[in-house]
């Protein structure tokens, strides 16, 4: 229980992070992470705290707990007929998104997505005021989609949030046997910038104030009708939610 609590606190919604002690520390040995990762998490919290203090953002309760999303045209993984839908709003440069991607997502994919129980959608929520490379990465994923490599590039970027400069992205594209000239041109053109910004606006409407943010609920013909959850929570939290939906 103690470890789960610390894991959850590391990814509280942005509006609640100001309540965290300024001298908060992460114990790498207890958390099972490297000292570099621990320092990265602490730096992330400090940056978010400073940003909110500059904006004088009041501490308010979480936004809406339920949301309906139209997912037509969004990238989907799994069976289109799956009874449950899970949507992630992600920031590729966010260390908390990385932690979800490299730990929880693997188990969710194996146990729920690949088995036809859940269909998984990916949407973008780059916090560009904190992560200058995030919006480029979001556009890069869409450029990769043109060559049928969206999910593979997403996997690479999700695991490597510190390697999202253009040259690194092109190198990743080369590793996936993509047409790198076409890929680079697509990213540099920023042709998908407006589409990414549309995702950001929709995330704001449902009360997403941190990354990653999820909407999990029953599948609808248009998309999903479900609950908004914020944070890279442990696998057990998502599993309990999914099992509850299975019984309804």
Tens digits of per-residue pLDDT, 8-18? 333 334 444 44
Model pLDDT, residue 61: 56
CA distance 109 to 9: 24
Average pLDDT for 187-202: 96
Res 236 pLDDT > 70: yes
Res 211 pLDDT > 60: yes
* Ranges assigned E (strand) in the chain: 66-70, 75-77, 84-90, 118-124, 213-219, 223-230
Using only the alpha carbons of the chain, give its radius of gyration: 18
> Which of 46-50, 164-168, 205-209, 213-217 is least confident?
46-50
Task: Compare 198 and 64 and report the one with higher pLDDT.
Answer: 198
- Tell me the pTM: 0.76
Res 35 pLDDT > 80: no
CA distance 15 to 91: 17
Q: State phi, psi for 20 to the nearest 5 degrees.
A: -70, 140
Beta bridge partners of 56: none
Average pLDDT for 68-89: 96
Average pLDDT for 142-163: 97
Q: How is residue 68 written in tokens? A: 């309906």
| CATH architecture type of domain 66-247 | 3-Layer(aba) Sandwich (3.40)
Average pLDDT for 105-117: 97
Average pLDDT, the chain: 85
Nearest in space to 219 (alpha carbons), one of 195, 248, 198: 248
Model pLDDT, residue 28: 53
């Amino acid at each position: 229980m103690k470890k789960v609590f610390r894991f959850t606190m590391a990814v509280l919604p942005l509006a609640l992070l100001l309540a965290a002690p300024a001298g908060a520390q992460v114990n790498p040995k207890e958390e099972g992470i490297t000292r570099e990762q621990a320092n990265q998490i602490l730096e992330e919290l400090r940056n978010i705290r400073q940003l909110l203090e500059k904006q004088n953002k009041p501490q308010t309760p979480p936004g809406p707990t339920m949301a309906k999303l139209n997912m037509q045209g969004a990238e989907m993984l799994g069976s289109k007929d799956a009874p449950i839908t899970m949507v992630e709003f992600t920031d590729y440069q966010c260390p908390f998104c990385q932690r979800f991607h490299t730990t929880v997502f693997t188990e969710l994919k194996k146990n729920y997505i690949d088995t036809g129980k859940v269909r998984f959608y990916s949407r973008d929520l780059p916090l560009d005021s904190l992560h200058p490379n995030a919006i480029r990465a979001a556009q890069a994923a869409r450029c990769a989609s043109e060559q049928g490599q969206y999910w593979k590039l997403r996997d690479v970027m999700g695991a490597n949030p510190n390697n999202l400069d253009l040259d690194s992205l092109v190198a990743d594209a080369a590793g996936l046997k993509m047409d790198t000239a076409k890929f680079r041109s697509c990213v540099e053109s920023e042709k998908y910038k407006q589409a990414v910004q549309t995702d950001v606006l929709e995330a704001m409407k449902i009360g997403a104030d941190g990354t990653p943010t999820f909407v999990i609920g029953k599948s609808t013909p248009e998309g999903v009708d479900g609950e908004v959850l914020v944070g890279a929570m442990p696998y057990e939290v998502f599993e309990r939610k999914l099992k509850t939906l299975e019984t309804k």
